[in-house]
Amino acid sequence: MIKPCAGLLALVLALPVNAAGVDLAKSSLNFSFRQMGVPVAGSFGRFDADVAFNAAEPAKSRATLTVHTASIRLPAPDAVAEAAKAAWFDVARHPQARFVASRFTRLADGRYQVFGRLTLKGISRDISAPFALREAGGTRWLEGALPISRLAFGVGDGQWRDTDTVADTVELKFRLALSGR
């Protein structure tokens, strides 16, 4: 039986059903990690976001993203059940992970960096994520990925702290469809 890394990350970056500036039906928050050397992929099915991104003046942008940790999707039902337990996401006590952006900067070639605070399982840490802005089919997309340490947020406590079983690094991939200009 494969136990989840509970792909942390929940991080974050994601989005209520009527989120300002984000088309949730098109957006996604996925993650991957290694368990006993084998890649495992998952996602979060429910997230809320209030995002206003200004490409011309990134400093005027804002973002608040909330992930509903009970909406975790993993390859097996027993892994989903395990992820809800106290050792992983502790969904009963911590039903949400939250990211609040503090600033945005422009990099180069349609790339940007967002800085902010991620709170997961009651633990808050400063994080930063690079992302790209692109347009396709009349939709502006914010797309990025960043590695997160699950252990820094207490995800995978007890016997699951062993990084030979479940790797510490969880790769979070976000794809947000911006509505409006």
Could you give the CA distance from residue 6 to residue 151 in angstroms, rounded to a whole number? 11
- pLDDT for residue 13: 33
pTM of the model: 0.85
Could you give the CA distance from residue 119 to residue 97 in angstroms, rounded to a whole number? 6
At the topology level, CATH places domain 28-178 in: Lipocalin (2.40.128)
| SS3 assignment for 101-146 | EEEEEECCCCEEEEEEEEEECCEEEEEEEEEEEEEECCEEEEEEEE
- pLDDT for residue 153: 97
| Three-state SS at 7 | coil
Q: What is the mean pLDDT of the chain?
A: 88
- pLDDT for residue 6: 35
Judge whether residue 79 has pLDDT over 90: yes
As a whole-number percent, the residues of the chain with pLDDT over 70 amount to: 88
